[in-house]
Amino acid sequence: MSTKTQLEQIAYNHAAAMMFSDLGTHENGYSAYLYLCDLAEKSEDPNEQLPDDISAWGPFENWNLLDVLNQIDSEAEALLLTLETVLTFAHKGIVQSAIDCTLDSDMNLLDLKEMVEKGSELEQAETAGGGYAA
């Protein structure tokens, strides 16, 4: 298993939290996910169930280990796309604010939510045929 970036870890942690009602001794969903990946890798049984110390929410409680991991992967990848979109919007907002000289030089005061909003508006303008407005 490859090492995940911090952004990927956030996505996998959230996706695992949506699947599990009890993480057992694991500190977070990402840690439980890694543990289950290790179990699946060592297992020869494709229908292996979740270990007793980790519980899935009701709709998923009868799913086997591989099905649970596949669902977590799918949810995490979808969330990762959303997180990357938000970061892209923030980047566009910061760049545009620098271009139009409205970016505060004190980065401690930077309002990232505002930058995301500005970046989203720029993205909408670009897809409607516009571009960066200087």
Residue 28 is classified by DSSP as: S
The verdict on 55 and 103 lying in the same domain is: no
The verdict on 71 and 30 lying in the same domain is: yes
Q: pTM here?
A: 0.82
Tens of pLDDT along 64-116? 999 999 999 999 999 999 999 999 999 999 999 999 998 888 888 889 999 99
**Cα–Cα separations (whole angstroms), residue 132 to 56, 69, 124:** 47, 41, 11
The verdict on 119 and 104 lying in the same domain is: yes
* Number of residues that this document lists for the chain: 134
Residue at which a domain ends, from 63, 81, 99: 81
The verdict on 75 and 112 lying in the same domain is: no
Longest dimension (CA), the chain: 61
Evaluate whether residue 133 is within a structural domain: no
Sign of torsion over alpha carbons 51, 52, 57, 63: positive
- Tell me the CB-side half-sphere exposure of residue 38, using CA atoms within 13 A: 7
Sign of torsion over alpha carbons 70, 75, 122, 106: negative
The verdict on 74 and 98 lying in the same domain is: no
Task: Using only the alpha carbons of the chain, give its radius of gyration.
Answer: 20
The verdict on 30 and 59 lying in the same domain is: yes
Residue 25 belongs to domain spanning:
6-81
Q: Is the pLDDT of residue 33 over 70?
A: yes
